[in-house]
């Protein structure tokens, strides 16, 4: 297994907040459900499985670490979320102190062998000197994600990105949303992109004598748009789309932004 594929960037949080352990479990279930693989599973089912495991004994350890985990019927792949609570949350830890790092693992029912390997690997990573402190200091989801992976070993935590590059193309019809898009990009570690000014087909046709009178741009509709092109890794696709939909809602119903993602066969120089 590859941790860079199991840890879901969209399921990372650097400002995790909860009043108590039970609320933390609910919010961890909500965070996990951001993964597209869990879209057909209710938050209550995830919460219930995490809660049942906690009833067997707390997964809160010392040094501000907790590794909540459970197995779910109908789940095909393992999913890991990472959350950092700056203030800390009482989570029945062994040393009775507040928990600040939550690495939550959910896996398929019956795959105990791989589940145990992930638990051991996660525990090993968190025990490395300076890892917990560095995770707490992260301020963005991408930095949290990458800091954790940077300390992964060469076994279950092997990081490979070869062949994973994708080209994301965003068609922006309203310039007023560019800042929101930029903020999502920064949050997920995208710092370089190409922006192209374009015209919509209707704008071009309106200048052709044969089609004059069919297109009216005196209203609110903007005849121009911008195309943003950015190279990302496969693991970032769902996270960025989720981040944008947190702001704009379901993009299938939002007319000012369209997205497509293409396989990147070749790139050089960026």
| pLDDT tens over the chain, length 270 residues | 688 889 999 999 999 999 999 999 999 999 999 998 998 899 999 999 999 999 999 999 999 999 999 999 989 999 999 999 999 999 999 999 999 999 999 999 988 889 999 998 899 899 888 999 999 999 999 899 989 988 875 444 444 444 578 899 999 989 899 999 988 888 777 877 889 988 665 555 555 554 455 445 445 555 678 999 998 888 788 889 988 999 999 999 999 999 999 988 777 776
- Measured between its terminal Cα atoms, the distance across the chain in Å is 29
What is residue 151's predicted lDDT score, i.e. its pLDDT?
A: 81
Mention every residue, 6+ apart, whose C-beta is less than 8 A from residue 120: none
pLDDT of residue 2: 80
Range 137-143 contact pairs with CB under 8 angstroms and sequence separation of 24 or more: 138/14, 138/84, 139/14, 140/14, 140/186, 140/187, 140/188, 140/189, 141/9, 141/12, 141/13, 141/14, 141/187, 141/188, 141/239, 142/9, 142/187, 142/188, 142/189, 143/14, 143/189
**Which domains does the chain show, CATH number per domain?**
3-150 (3.40.930.10), 165-263 (3.30.70.120)
């Amino acid at each position: 297994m590859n941790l860079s594929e199991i840890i879901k960037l969209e399921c990372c949080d650097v400002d995790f907040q909860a009043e108590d352990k039970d609320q933390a479990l609910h919010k961890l279930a909500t965070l996990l459900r951001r993964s597209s693989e869990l879209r057909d599973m209710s938050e209550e089912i995830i919460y219930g499985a995490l809660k049942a495991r906690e009833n067997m004994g707390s997964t809160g350890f010392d040094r501000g670490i907790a590794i909540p985990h459970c197995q779910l019927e109908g789940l095909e792949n393992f999913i890991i979320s990472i959350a950092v609570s700056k203030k800390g949350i009482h989570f029945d830890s062994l040393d009775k102190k507040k928990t600040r790092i939550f690495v939550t693992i959910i896996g398929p029912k019956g795959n105990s062998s791989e589940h145990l390997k992930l638990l051991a690997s996660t525990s090993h990573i968190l025990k490395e000197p300076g890892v917990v402190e560095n995770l707490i200091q992260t301020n963005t989801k991408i930095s949290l994600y990458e800091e954790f992976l940077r300390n992964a070993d060469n076994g279950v935590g092997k990081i490979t990105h070869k062949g994973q590059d994708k080209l994301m193309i965003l068609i922006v019809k309203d310039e007023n949303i560019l800042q929101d898009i930029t903020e999502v990009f920064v949050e997920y570690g995208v710092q370089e992109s190409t922006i192209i000014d374009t015209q919509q087909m209707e704008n071009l046709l309106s200048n052709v004598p044969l089609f004059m009178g069919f297109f009216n741009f005196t209203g609110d509709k903007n005849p121009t748009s911008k195309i943003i092109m950015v190279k990302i890794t496969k693991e970032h696709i769902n996270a960025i789309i989720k981040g944008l939909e947190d702001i704009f809602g379901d993009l299938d119903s939002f007319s000012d932004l369209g997205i497509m993602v293409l396989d990147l066969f070749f790139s050089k120089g960026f």
